Amino acid sequence: MLKILHTADWHLGKRLQEFPRIEEQKLVLDEICLIADEQEVDLVLLAGDIFDSFNPAHEAVELLYKTLRRLSKNGNRPIIAISGNHDSSQFVEAPDPLAREMGIFFYSRYDSLIPAGKLDSGVEVLRSESGFMELKLPKFDFPIRLILAPYAHEVSLRTYLGEENREEEFRNLLADKWKKLADQYCDEKGVNVFVGHFFFAKKGAPLEAEPESERPILHVGGTQALFTENLPSQIQYAALGHLHRFHAVDKNPCPVVYSSSPLAYSFSEADQEKQVVLIELEPGKPANYTPIGLKQGRPSYRKTFNNLPETLQWLEENPYCFVELTYQTKDSIDASTRKAILKAHDGIVNLIPQIQNPRNRDELTLKAEDLEKDMVSLFSLYFESVRGQEPNEELLTIFKEVISQEENK
């Protein structure tokens, strides 16, 4: 039985506002390496958004290479890593010739071709073409076929897949491309896997919300999503990246699964358990897959309080986390309360006042005659109508600087 570890959306180098996450990323990637070893995994799939930006910091790049070297077990455990919408395709593929010698295969462009050949470890690329590779591992007598679908915007798809008509549905274009690959290479004599970084949905089902921390994918061809029915029938498991929570989109034509990000990268992910997925496969049989929870890293919480003692007690009892804290108050959070809360915990990302009894909303509604007022007055009225309190002097000063710059352009 072939064992595959599916992970995605590492977002190396990402920050939570002013809070760096690199030390947590080191811990959770170490945990992923331990899981791979404990489960005796044969192959690792990294389904995109390796980095958080097109130009990642040196420490993020160093962390990636050290982690992949360990995961690959000196080339004996192959790793397939595709790019996501946060990754630079050129940057991701840059180390590929050297990495390939360690059994690490980067794939980010639809016109790329992974060279066939045998590595010193005995791992062999039997066949490949654009968007496809076939692997042979020494301990198995069957091949592993992988359809590779890194994120690509419309320009890339037109360039690399030959589409000239902007009105053509790229959903159908990709489905045709994948079907041709599957029909040519994916029979029941081998294991057949899809690895992609796109927004997939079951046709007719409600769409999942994309996480706040995720740059929304420019949906293919103006469509909302790709459909699971666009995947070839020969595929036994579809390993996806982009959504940050574990989510099994569909079971037809095979399990279509988002593994989740290894850490919570926004408060829309508060209280989510982060996971990797262990897949067990053999030719001609349905896949077995099991999510495995990750424990490392600071959890994220959204909490609401209406008095200081309860607030401070909870913060004291939960020191290792990030918090978006909403504080209910009749007016505004006074300076002494704000200071006490912020001093009590080093992971408060947002402290949000929630006015319990704002002035009569009718009084705060903007009226036609208000449009004759100056910009600062209008801003103050708008802020008060939304927040139930007047903007402070610091905020007004910033607003005045903004409109001054606009006026001087």
Backbone angles phi, psi at 134, to 5 degrees: -125, 120
pLDDT digits (tens, 9 = 90+) for 372-385: 677 888 888 777 76
Q: How many residues does the chain have?
A: 409
pLDDT tens readout for residues 225-276:
789 999 999 999 999 999 999 999 999 899 999 999 999 999 889 888 999 9
Alpha-carbon span 377 to 370, nearest angstrom: 9
| CA atoms of 177 and 148, how far apart (whole Å) | 11
211 — pLDDT class (breaks 50, 70, 90): low
Calculate the CA 3 to chain-centre distance: 23
DSSP alpha helix (H) spans, 186-322: 308-317
End-to-end CA distance of the chain: 66
Q: Which of 321, 325, 320, 327 is nearest to 303 (CA)?
A: 325
Name the 3-class secondary structure at 325. Answer: strand
Structural contact between residues 218 and 153, judged by C-beta atoms closer than 8 angstroms: yes
- 341's CB contacts (< 8 A; 6+ apart) are 308, 311, 312, 315, 325, 327, 333, 348, 351
In angstroms, how far is CA 306 from the centroid of its own chain? Answer: 34
**pLDDT above 50 (res 401):** yes
Q: What's the Cα-to-Cα distance from 328 to each of 76, 87, 186, 303, 352, rounded to whole Å?
A: 56, 40, 59, 11, 9
Are 217 and 242 a contacting pair, CB within 8 Å?
A: yes
Q: Backbone phi, then psi, for 324, in 5-degree steps?
A: -105, 105
> Which range (47-61, 68-82, 216-230, 393-407) has the least confidence?
216-230
Residue 30 has pLDDT above 70, yes or no: yes
Do 59 and 22 meet the contact criterion of CB atoms below 8 Å apart?
Answer: yes
pTM of the model: 0.81
Backbone angles phi, psi at 147, to 5 degrees: -90, 125
- pLDDT tens, residue by residue, 126-161: 999 999 999 999 999 999 999 999 987 656 655 655
Cβ-contact 126, 78 below 8 angstroms: no
Radius of gyration of the chain, Cα coordinates, nearest whole angstrom = 25
Quick one: pLDDT at residue 155?
60
Q: Indicate if the pLDDT at residue 224 is higher than 60.
A: no
145's enclosing H/E stretch is strand 144-149
CB 111 within 8 A of CB 162: no
Phi, psi of 282 (to 5 degrees): -145, 160
Any idea what DSSP says for residue 381?
H
Q: Which residue has the tokens 């301990």?
A: 139
Q: Can the peptide bond before residue 353 be classed as cis, meaning omega within 30 degrees of 0?
A: no
CA of 377: how far to CAs of 228, 323, 396, in Å?
52, 33, 10
Q: Which amino acid is at 397?
A: T
Q: What is the DSSP string of 241-254?
A: -SSSS-EEEE-SSS
pLDDT band of 292, cuts 50, 70, 90: very high
Q: What's the one-letter identity of residue 126?
A: L
Q: Which residues pair with 104 in a beta bridge?
A: 79
